[in-house]
Amino acid sequence: MTPTELKENTRLDPATGEYRVIAPGQTFKSVTEKIVRIVLTPTTPLGWFALFGVAGAVATVLLAAMTWLFLVGVGIWGITQPVAWGFAIINFVWWIGIGHAGTLISAILLLFKQSWRNSINRFAEAMTIFAVVCAGMFPLIHVGRPWLAYWMLPYPNTMTVWPQFRSPLLWDVFAVSTYATISVVFWFIGMVPDFGTMRDRSQNKVAQYLYGLLSLGWRGSVRHWARYETASLLLAGLATPLVLSVHTVISFDFAVAVLPGWHTTIFPPYFVAGAIYSGFAMVLTLAIPLRKFYHLEGLVTERHIDNMGKVMLATGFIVAYGYGMEVFMAWYSASHWESFMMWNRMFGPMGWAYWVLITCNLAIPLTTLWSRKLRTSMPFMFFISIVVNTGMWFERFVIVVTSLYRDFLPSAWGTYRATKWDYMTYVGTLGLFTALFLLFVRFLPMIPMSEIRMMLPGAKIGPKITPKTTAKAGD
C-alpha cells in the first residue's frame, strides 16, 4: 500500500465503508482544546483580520445605500410599475431560504438522530441567524417608510387601526419574527454548556467574566442535562414545523396573487425544497474554507461534505420537479396567460435569467453530485456551492421579475432594471453577513463541544457491574 492509501484508509470506517464522522484518536480533552483554542487564542490570525477588513468594507456599502435610501426613499431603486417587487423581495426570499438549512441541520436532523450533524450544527445555526438578519431588513426597508414598520404589529394605537389578518403579508410578519426569535433562543440555549467550558478553560479575567455571564452558571449537573436535553428535543420538534411554515407562508405571498407565474399550488413545497437546497450550498460555502483555515478536518470530515452533497441532490430534484410542473401546468391549464408567461420567461427579453437558473440549479449540480468522488472533492463542492447559490438567486429573480413585468394587458407591460443602489444593498448584505459570521467564529465556540463529546468512543458506558469491592463504608 502506498502511504496515501494508508492515510485514506484511516479516514474510512471499515464497518460501513463510509467516511468517518470524526477522525480517529480524538478524546474529550483534544476536542475541547481544539475548539476552545480558536476562540481563546491571544493572537488572532492575520487572515481573519484581512477577511474582516474586506467584509467590513463591503458592509459599509450597505450603510451608504441605507443612508441614501432613508434620505431619499425607495425611488432610488429600480422598482416601478409594473415591477413593484424588485431586488428587495428577491433578496429577502434568497436570504431567508439560506437560513432554512441551518434549522434543518439543527432541528430536523436532530429528530432523525443523524448524529453526523453535530459538528456542523452550531455554525449552520449561526448562518441561519445572520441570514435572517439580512433577510428581515429587506421587507422593512421595502415598505418605503421603515420608521413606521411597527405599524405591521397589532398594538392599540390612537388611530384605532388594526392589522388585516387575512393577508399573507401579515402572516409573514408573524412567521419571520417567530422564526428569528426561536432561532436565536435555540442557538443560545445550545451554546450555554459550551460557554461553561469557555469560562473554565480561559485564563483571562475578562473572558472568564463574560463567558461566565453567558454560561448562566452552567455546572453540568445531570439533572440539568436531562431537562436541557428534553428542552432541546422540544425546541427541535417545534422548529421543524416552524421552518417548513416560514417558507410556505413566504410562498403564499406569491401564490395567493392571481398573477400567472405566481398563482400555483406547487409553490409551498417547491419553495421549501429550494430554500434547503440553497441553504446547504451556503453551509458548504462556509464550511469548506473554515475547516481548512482552522484545521478542523478531524471534526468536519469528508462525511459531512458528502452527506450535504446528498441532501442537495435530493432537494435539487424536488426543485427540478417544481420547474417541470410549472412548465407542464402552463401547457395543461390551457390558459393563454399561463403559456405566454412561460414562453416569455424562457424566450422573452429576460430569458437569459431563466437559462442561467436552469444551468446553475439543474444542469451542473444534478449531473455531477451523483459521484462520491466529486462529492468529497473540496474544490469541486466549493464550486458547486457557489453555482447553486447563484442559481437560487436567479430563481427568485425569475419568479419575481419575469412574472411581473409582462402580465395580462400589453398596455400595462414594462421592464425592470436594477439601479446601483439595488446592487449596493445586495452586495452590502453579503458583507454584513460575512462580517457577522467572522465575529461569531472569533468569539463563540463554532462547533458544539458537548455534542461532539457524546459521539466519542470514550463516552461509551461500560458493562454494568465489574466486580469491584464496594465496601459499604457509608452504612
Partner 1 sequence: MPAREGTYGLLAEFDTPSDLVRAAQQARNDGWRRMDCYTPYPVEEAAEAIGFHRNKVPLITLIGGLMGLSAMFAMEVWVSVLAYPLNIGGRPLYSWPAFIVPAYEWTILFAGLSAAFGMLALNGLPALYHPLFNAPNFRDGATTDKFFLCLEALDPKFDLVEAKKYLQSFQPISVVEVEY
Binding to partner 1 in span 130-159, by CB under 8 A: 154
| Cβ at position 381, least distance to partner 1 in Å | 30
For partner 1, the binding residue among 239, 350, 353, 435 (CB under 8 A) is 239
Task: Please work out, in degrees rounded to the nearest 5, the angle formed at the alpha carbon of residue 361 by the alpha carbons of 356 and 363.
Answer: 80
137, HSE (Cβ side, Cα atoms, 13 Å): 22
245 sits near partner 1 (criterion: CB under 8 A): yes
The three-class DSSP label of residue 203 is coil
> What does residue 373 show for φ and ψ, rounded to 5 degrees?
-60, -45
Locus of grid cell 480517529: 24
Closer by beta carbon to partner 1, 76 or else 207: 207
228 sits near partner 1 (criterion: CB under 8 A): yes
Q: Which of 145, 78, 87 is nearest to 430 (CA)?
A: 87
Closer by beta carbon to partner 1, 224 or else 292: 224
219 sits near partner 1 (criterion: CB under 8 A): yes
160 sits near partner 1 (criterion: CB under 8 A): yes
What type of residue is 446?
A: M
Q: Where does residue 286 rank: exposed (0-12), middle (13-18), buried (19+ CB within 10 A)? A: buried
464 sits near partner 1 (criterion: CB under 8 A): yes
For partner 1, the binding residue among 201, 247, 291, 396 (CB under 8 A) is 201
Closer by beta carbon to partner 1, 5 or else 475: 475
324 sits near partner 1 (criterion: CB under 8 A): no
| Cβ at position 445, least distance to partner 1 in Å | 11
For partner 1, the binding residue among 97, 196, 269, 365 (CB under 8 A) is 196
CA distance 10 to 409: 66
Closer by beta carbon to partner 1, 319 or else 449: 449
Closer by beta carbon to partner 1, 200 or else 306: 200
For partner 1, the binding residue among 85, 218, 254, 323 (CB under 8 A) is 218
Residue 20 DSSP one-character state? P
| 303, 16 contact by CB (below 8 A) | no
> What does residue 409 show for φ and ψ, rounded to 5 degrees?
-95, 125
**Whether residue 457 has a cis bond before it, omega within 30° of 0:** no
For partner 1, the binding residue among 50, 72, 153, 213 (CB under 8 A) is 213
For partner 1, the binding residue among 199, 247, 291, 345 (CB under 8 A) is 199
230 sits near partner 1 (criterion: CB under 8 A): yes
Please count the residues of this chain forming the interface with partner 1, following the rule CB under 8 A. Answer: 79
Task: Please work out, in degrees rounded to the nearest 5, the angle formed at the alpha carbon of residue 301 by the alpha carbons of 190 and 239.
Answer: 30
CA–CA distances in Å: residue 335 to residues 264, 327, 332, 342:
13, 12, 8, 11
Closer by beta carbon to partner 1, 196 or else 309: 196
Closer by beta carbon to partner 1, 373 or else 468: 468
| Cβ at position 327, least distance to partner 1 in Å | 29
Strand partners, 79: none
For partner 1, the binding residue among 40, 133, 169, 189 (CB under 8 A) is 189
Binding to partner 1 in span 398-457, by CB under 8 A: 449-451, 453-454
The three-class DSSP label of residue 19 is strand
298 sits near partner 1 (criterion: CB under 8 A): no
